[in-house]
């Protein structure tokens, strides 16, 4: 998924219905969508965002800080 993909404008967190931020693929880190408000990360598998509530994973405080740095504006 590219940062300018129009789909990003309409995707929302399944839990709080707020916007998600793209986490670009980096060394050893897979592409994902992130909700910093709830600190939940949703995977993107084969270009398809997995946005079921059960697909998201809670991240630790340390990982949250790291993900904030990775967020694509």
Convert the pLDDT of each residue in 19-59 to its tens digit. 999 998 876 778 999 999 999 999 999 989 999 999 999 99
Query: Is residue 45 classed exposed, middle or buried when 0-12, 13-18 and 19+ CB atoms within 10 A define those classes?
Result: exposed
Does pLDDT of 72 surpass 70? Answer: no
Q: Of 69, 71, 22, which is closest to residue 43 (Cα–Cα)?
A: 22
Residue ranges covered by each domain of the chain:
13-71
pTM of the full structure: 0.87
CATH no., domain 13-71 = 2.20.25.10
């Amino acid at each position: 998924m590219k940062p300018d993909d129009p789909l990003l404008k309409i995707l929302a967190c399944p839990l709080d219905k707020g916007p998600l931020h793209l986490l670009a693929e980096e060394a050893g880190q897979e592409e994902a969508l992130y909700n910093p408000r709830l600190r939940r990360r949703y995977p993107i598998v084969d270009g398809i965002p997995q946005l079921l509530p059960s697909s998201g994973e809670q991240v630790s405080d340390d990982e949250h800080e790291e993900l904030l740095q990775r967020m694509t504006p």
